[in-house]
Structure 1
């Protein structure tokens, strides 16, 4: 079997929590050497110190992509909120004359508010019990800590940016902010969502068509957003995948996700592969 490699990387934009899953899910087997470049989101300090807007964030993320793909076609995969970012970045880069050769959103459901989504308590309980059932006790402990801090951050409400701005300008920070990655992650995620929720709402008031090869892989829970995605991407192909939003990359679901991605993106992946 010949070794294959892509002439341009696939850009991956994560969910609001940042990080990346096993990126091999986006490769077509062991002989596929396609580079996958992960875009990093700023931490909470960048939002509050620079009073970052959603438009500025999109431009900063686009600059990261241009640094990784300085020429040639650009292909993007966005997970959850990353799918919305990929759409916005695609519009931005096309306006600058760059070719978007392919775009895939994974379970990128619509939201227009920073308020908790419907049935969030039920989903949180299901996720917690699932971790216990699978005996993933370390992850369960992190899950509990993240929910505790998320609840506390929500109690701060609209005062959060002012509170964090005061912390960022202080000469010292509480040890919990410097030693606990869970707290850092929750604060950064909250500022990301606060900054971008109004921008996301505006996107779908008058959606601008991104007419590129596009795919949406989504769970059954997100099927109500299909129409909105078709307004954004008129040529989009939509496939349902098994699982829930939080466990798409778990062993019982990742195989189906991989197969759906490979099948749905074959045209724009193969078009930029060299032997």
Structure 2
């Protein structure tokens, strides 16, 4: 089961990752709710977690469950794994990909420099269509951040209008950025409190992370006593780029083999 980053997607990257492995693997994506659901009265982080856990149980009605979470999906995967384990389900592995700690829904420090570097890298590689999509994405994201809660409240008031739905239906990028923004707004307070008294997940866990995210290793070790940490090259945005996919694949393959060994050892252990 695959829990993506807040922006969703990533299936193409995972297909590329799986293509070069020495063993078969498939990723079943779990979809996050769109902006309409996030704006529904009473919607909360708790309801989101319940719905995601229920979807995973529906897709894997019996047997062991393996979860892979990218970015914010890693935090969700950890919490959902705890909930499923408490219900008696076997968590055969949790693979967390560059899930750094999030303390608020505001942009992290230095985001302008990272965005500039990412845009320049796309131009150097001649990926002009990708660069154009990148600029549109950042423009919508900047507008939603600048508008803050007043803008989101306005969107909520007019969300039932046909014009609003038509506008976002015509612009998939705007729809995606609004959905992502609302998701983070709901989850940020929950994420801030998640590590106040972290519950240990007793299951095999692999953390694949960039060098920058090493600062959060201790938090993940508190959450997951049996975590194995693999450092991969690149940045949060370039993990699956051609120059980094090989090392990413190697780390994922090592983690998958570790999960398999843990499962085999569990079968050999007397009840």
What TM-score, normalized to structure 1? Answer: 0.90
Alignment of 1:1-275 (within 5 A): 11-20=1-10, 21-24=12-15, 27=18, 29=20, 32-173=23-164, 175-269=166-260, 271=263
1:121 aligned counterpart, secondary structure:
helix
CA distance in 2, matches of 1:263, 1:33: 14
**Deviation sequence 1:236-256 (CA, Å, 0-9, x none):** 111110000001011110110
Give yes or no for contact 1:177–1:183 (8 Å, CA) kept in 2.
yes
Moved more, 252-261 or 26-35: 26-35
Q: 1:157 to 1:133 in 2, by over 3 A?
A: same
2: CA distance, partners of 1:32 / 1:219: 25
Identify the residue that residue 3 of structure 1 maps to in structure 2: none
Deviates more, 1:215-224 or 1:15-24: 15-24
Given the superposition, is the C-alpha separation of residues 96 and 156 from structure 1 closer, same or farther in structure 2, using an over 3 Å criterion? same
Q: Write the deviation string for residues 30-83 of structure 1: whole angstroms up to 9, x where unpaired.
A: 663333211111111100024421111011111111111000110011111110
Match of 1:239, SS state, is strand
SS at match of 2:75: helix
SS in 2 for 1:152: helix
**Separation of aligned partners in 2, 1:31 and 1:261:** 11
Distance in 1 of aligned mates of 2:165 and 2:84 = 40
Q: Does structure 1 conserve the Cα–Cα contact (< 8 Å) formed by 2:49 and 2:76? A: yes
Question: CA 1:269/1:37 → structure 2, altered by over 3 Å: closer, same or farther?
Answer: farther
**Kept in 2: contact 1:48–1:164 (CA 8 A):** no
Secondary structure of residue in 2 paired with 1:37: coil
Query: C-alpha separation between the residues in 2 aligned to 1:213 and 1:219?
Result: 20
Greater mean alpha carbon deviation, residues 44-53 or residues 108-117: 44-53
Q: Distance in 1 between matches of 2:207 and 2:16?
A: 16
Q: Over aligned residue pairs, what C-alpha RMSD do you find? A: 1.7
Q: CA deviation at 1:162?
A: 1.9
TM-score of the aligned structures, taking structure 2 as reference length: 0.91
- In the aligned structure 1, how far is the partner of 2:127 from the partner of 2:65? 37
- Is the CA contact 2:4–2:30 (under 8 Å) kept in the aligned structure 1? yes
Judged with a 3 Å threshold, the aligned counterparts in structure 2 of structure 1 residues 28 and 265 are, in CA distance, closer, same or farther, namely farther
**1:129 positional shift:** 0.2
Residue of structure 2 equivalent to 1:6 = none
Aligned length: 262
Offset of residue 26 of structure 1: 5.4
Q: For the Cα contact (< 8 Å) 1:49–1:168, is it kept in 2? A: no
Q: CA deviation at 1:224?
A: 0.4
Displacement of 1:175: 4.7
